[in-house]
Amino acid sequence: MASNAGQDSSTQNNEFAKLSWRERIAYGAGDFAQNLIFGTIGSMLLFYLTTVYGISAAAGATVFLVVRWINVFWDPWVGAYVDRSAVTKIGKYRPFLLKFGVPLTILSALLFLPIQAVRGNVIYAFVAYMLTAMVYSLVNIPYGALNASLTRDNQEVSTLSTVRMTEANIGNLLVYTFLPLFVQIASPDKQLKDIGLFGIKLHLGNYSSPHAGGAYFLVMSIYMVIGFCMLLFTYFGVKERVLPTEQETDSVKYSDLWTELKNNKPLQVLGLFFLVGFTFMFFGNTVWPFYTQYNIVTQNGWLQLT
């Protein structure tokens, strides 16, 4: 792909550039951020909705199901929209991180808004989750495409993928290991308990209590702000070098995806693989808080790290 003439000369660099470690880490910070922001939602939202927020499990599951189906049609449109976006002086994909990173951070925190007026309101939960998921696509999809715009050097692309996954797993560690602990620390009705790690004892509250809404909002807000700071690190820390021409951009159509999917057998197999893989991953991420709460607890009912 040729560099677009609309960019300034500072971005018209070697498309096979060797990246600095700062740029590699900055790129991986984007995945760290998204796991910190949306990973918390995927792992804790349903548990929060059915224990603290006060809606039934059936209603919560229905909210998740409907929003996921909306994403089935929304995400391909976002992909086409991103591909058709013009190349600017700051790049093609980076602007999305800044433009939609702010509303993503705000909407993600509002999912856990501890206001009695909306507690138990299924419509609020549905609209808030739907908007958050839709805005998340406007961050996640451009970020995924950003990889290919940094360099065409195969070794560098492999290194980028390694760094990205490393930072993504650090984000997962903060979400799946420490998030429940932080929420319990901020929750009411604290008692001195062994957290199940090296004999450490802390004053922990009940994070499944209807009164724990403020604790969730506090911890989630902190996570969201940290995630947004990491998105800013990605935005300012990378440079797009491999960009499509204006003609290539204008030729993109929404229907291209469905045409390609219909005629491309390997793409169908790959799509099925991702469908099954992400379904089980999403299922596991959503179920684990319920499993740990109701199966891996201390005698007094307080969740411990294992």
Chain segment 124-183, per-residue pLDDT in tens:
999 999 999 999 999 999 999 998 899 988 899 899 999 999 999 999 888 888 888 899
List the beta bridge partners of residue 192.
203
CA angle 264, 267, 268 (to 5 degrees): 90
**Which amino acid appears at position 94 of this protein?**
R
Q: How far apart are CA 230 and CA 27, in angstroms?
A: 9
Exposure string for 140-158, b = 16+ CB within 10 A, e = fewer: bbbbbbbbebbbebeebee
Record the tokens describing residue 67, joined without a space. 């929003």
**How far is 176 from 303, CA to CA, in rounded Å?**
13
Q: How many CB atoms lie within 10 A of CB 306?
A: 9
Question: Which positions ≥6 away from 224 have C-beta within 8 Å?
Answer: 36, 37, 105, 106, 108, 109
CATH class of the domain at 9-191+206-254: mainly alpha
What integer pLDDT is reported at residue 116 of this predicted model?
86
Task: Name the band, by pLDDT with cuts 50, 70 and 90, for residue 297.
Answer: low
Per residue in 218-242, pLDDT tens? 999 999 999 999 999 999 999 999 8
Whether the CB-CB separation of 236 and 99 falls below 8 Å is answered with: no
pLDDT at 132: 95
